[in-house]
Structure 1
């Protein structure tokens, strides 16, 4: 019987730095949520190929939420979180916190400060001595208290990484992302070097092992386990991996992230690939290029495709669908369900509005929404949003249509009706962005200007995000959104 196949990504859209844990016959995963709220969205799977949203573990992030680790110890679950200072946070330095719960479904505790500063990318492990430890970028280690909610001592340097040849084209050495597991008599330390963006051939996965969490750590002769060796490959900047046993029990798989060739605008997406084991006990990558169809784990269901959806805003699907970008504390209080979604205005324009955004992994799609202004000085609209400095789209202020490109109001004055309610549509067709608008019940009118957005990505902006459909409400008063629709077109 032929096993099913899958194609990467297994979870599309910008979901960097995946952390995965196997709980019984299921897998749970989250990823860096950066300046989004809710944060740490949790997904569940039984086959590593098909993932279903379950809940958000972090309703109110304390800062920009970087790469986490999920751990289970004595029947309790932990997520170790590095928060980075953001303009809206009270943090003064990168800091590692922890949340905990009786099950992966939650409810999750409030974040607890571990007192670790100037560190990111925590990785949890229980040593051969039965004590708990946290590894961070660098690679440094600190002991945890038995309950996992505090630390003992200071960070200590324990591993200096594996050095690739200097002629390799990378972004930076950047030893980071430690993930640890035990197999047999060995502890394995999986980490990343090469930089997470920059050149397509930069990021990579390396492995070291030791019989003790105290070292010494021996580098694998097979390093790197995964790397984009050619910019012609389907996936660029592969790295930041977690290795887990597969559904069959004797198979192993690696979950990592990467940019899709030609589509850095979609951010770093979730990748899955098989891992083999050498005769002397080292994990080895089975494939150089993970584009195209791959054999799925045993028993996997057919891979689900991206689908269209409509949101009438009868319920508020924060986390599952919508997240705020760069929110202030209590941002959700801006929202109300009243004949649609009413969003209180914030900021002088789209950049400062903390828009509601959704992730997409599609190359070509349409979004549309009905926009109604509920204040004399309100402005609202529909965008493709990267960050507060880079976005495009259109909005209305009751007097004219505002057209945005490159993060600025353009000089073009679109001859749209001076209306307080318009329906807006945006199509992104492989980076070519076209807009339409109409009064309710009228005919669609194409916006006169098209945009090309292939450069709206991390290497342009120095910001590890993605280009996302978004709703914004700026100025004063509020904006009502009705009948949002998303359609993948191919």
Structure 2
């Protein structure tokens, strides 16, 4: 197995990359967090020679588990989706390589649309002999009631999965089944009772072997809730079987003040950089922009004389020196789409899909045609794309075919979204996950160009009949409350642009444009 390796207000925006999207690389040997802007939570990272691969919780997205590649830990490009048909909501996974084969250990959590998870939270595995595709179908490991698997190989060569709550189970040598019972192996580190957290929630164990020790990096304090809750703790042992000694300086990462640039920081993995230095990859909420979801942060660490990791990032609102020795490459993905070819799993993903959802959509000739489903956005499985900018706009041509309704949204979950559409008779407005009373003086039309502008959580709608002259919608909205803290855990991760189609006909979309402002 390859080794896997702040007291300030929010700082300046990062550099601009594709279509003006935020990117981390400042082009002068420094970077500015986040390295992945937008909803990229629970990062799992694998060092494989000079290459790094990373993926994230994809929750109710279909396809899921988009894998990204880098050679410098700062610039990342998407490769492909490893999970075309999720069995449920995909929580924090672990991406590893062992004996020349790649594995993804996946916790599926039941949802309203999942049909196979009869025993609740269940951990599966998929595998491939190459990173660019060929992943197997999910294999049930028979592990129920746990999340956040973390793969490890012991000093005896045996394979293990560490699980939430300080549990562990031994795996077969091929990693495709269990070879024992789940057992409790670690009690965690207890923070003071007067700390303001969401819950204790011992989660996200990731194991790194360095020198004479196995290091277990975990999260406690809850992933959401108060900004000071989530944190990174470390324990170590000479043996994979323990006993586990807690770091005397725990937690090594924690938001301690709501004025800091990044909140709820946790779910870390250690990784060795291309130049032999060491780093932590983890997630956090950007102060004032929880609507963007938990974003991926990169922080340098050093090893103390007594063999413990020390976080060295300091004020993460300021630039840091990039990892040494890496080869920078392209970063990000073009969010705009001319619909010349399908981009499912990279640019677009269905939210809360039913079986056969992809059959509703065809792409070609400069259009994406989506057959209507459901009565409104809440049950239509909209197509979503991730936004990573504090301010951005999206616009698209919308044309109704037969008896349909459709448009563009900013979508958090089936219960919380806002946006605009047309039904052939008038402009339809949504707010708070419901139809809004506001009516615009738009004449009956079956074709219109719609635009949503999000300027630091202030939302403005526009419409145009000729694609050139825009009319501002008379209603503006403030959307900072459209974030995961208002929902059940795992129900929605970030507010993201989306296309929807409902009714008995179809909706044809053309010229989708995303622009960072």
**TM-score over 0.5 for the pair:** yes
What is aligned with 1:33? 58
Contact 1:307 1:487 in 2 (8 A): no
Q: Secondary structure at the match of 2:358?
A: helix
2:215 corresponds in structure 1 to 188
CA contact (8 A) 2:451 2:463 kept: yes
The residue aligned with 2:31 is: 6
Correspondence for 2:147 among 120, 131, 141: 120
CA distance in 2, matches of 1:454, 1:314: 34
For the 8 Å contact 2:70–2:329, the answer to whether it is kept is no
Q: So what's the TM-score if we normalise by structure 1?
A: 0.97
CA distance 1:429–1:302, shift in 2 (3 Å): farther
Aligned to 1:82: 107
1:409 aligned to 2:440? no
Aligned mate of 2:461, from 417, 430, 435: 435
How far apart, CA to CA, are the structure 2 residues paired with 1:183 and 1:455? 43
Q: Deviations over 1:207-226 (max 9, x none)?
A: 00111111110001121111
Q: Does residue 477 of structure 1 match 2:505?
A: yes
The question of 1:200 aligning with 2:213 is answered: no
Superposed counterparts of 1:291-370, under 5 Å: 291-300=317-326, 310-339=336-365, 340-370=367-397
Conserved 8 A contact 1:226-1:288: no
Partners of 2:339 and 2:268 in 1: CA distance: 36
Is 1:381–2:425 an aligned residue pair? no
Where does residue 173 of structure 1 map in the other structure?
Answer: 200
- Whole-Å separation in 2 of the counterparts to 1:302 and 1:110: 33
Contact 1:67 1:120 (C-alpha < 8 Å) held by counterparts: yes
Partner of 1:289: 315
Change over 3 Å in CA distance of 1:305–1:448 after alignment to 2: farther
Flag structure 1 segments of 5+ consecutive residues without an equivalent: none
Partner residue of 1:234? 261
Distance in 2 of aligned mates of 1:414 and 1:103: 53
| Preserved contact between residue 381 and residue 471 of structure 1 (Cα < 8 Å) | yes
Show the counterpart of 1:21: 46
Q: Distance in 2 between matches of 1:229 and 1:66?
A: 26
Q: How many residues end up aligned between the 2 structures? A: 486
- Structure 1 residue 289, shift from structure 2 partner: 2.9
- Match among 66, 70, 94 for residue 69 of structure 1: 94
Which of the numbers 52, 55, 58 marks the counterpart of 2:80?
55
Question: What's the C-alpha RMSD, in Å, of the aligned pairs?
Answer: 1.5
Partner of 2:22: none
SS in 1 for 2:336: strand
How far has the Cα of 1:300 moved from its partner?
4.6
Q: For residues 82 and 335 of structure 2, what CA distance do their matches in structure 1 show?
A: 24
Structure-1 separation of matches of 2:332 and 2:271 = 26
Look up the SS of the partner of 1:459 in the other structure. Answer: helix
Distance apart, 1:39 and its partner CA? 0.3
Q: CA 1:175 to 1:111, structure 2 compared with 1: closer, same or farther past 3 Å?
A: same
Summarize the alignment of residues 418-433 of structure 1 with structure 2, pairs less than 5 Å apart.
Answer: 418-433=444-459
- CA displacement at 1:287 relative to structure 2: 3.1
Quickly say closer, same or farther: Cα 1:460–1:332, change in 2 above 3 A: same
Question: Higher mean Cα deviation, 407-416 or 75-84?
Answer: 407-416
CA contact (8 A) 2:398 2:508 kept: yes
1:7-59 per-position Cα deviation (integer Å, ceiling 9, x unaligned) = 01001110110000000001000000000011000000001000000010001
Question: In the superposition, relative to structure 1, how do residues 224 and 466 fare at CA in structure 2: closer, same or farther (>3 Å)?
Answer: same
1:174 CA displacement: 0.2
1:378-418 Cα offsets, whole Å, 9 max, x none, are: 11001111111111110111111111111111111111121
C-alpha displacement of 1:441: 4.8
Report SS of the residue matched to 2:293.
strand
Rounded to whole Å, the distance in 2 between the matches of 1:258 and 1:448 is 35
TM-score under structure 2 normalisation? 0.92
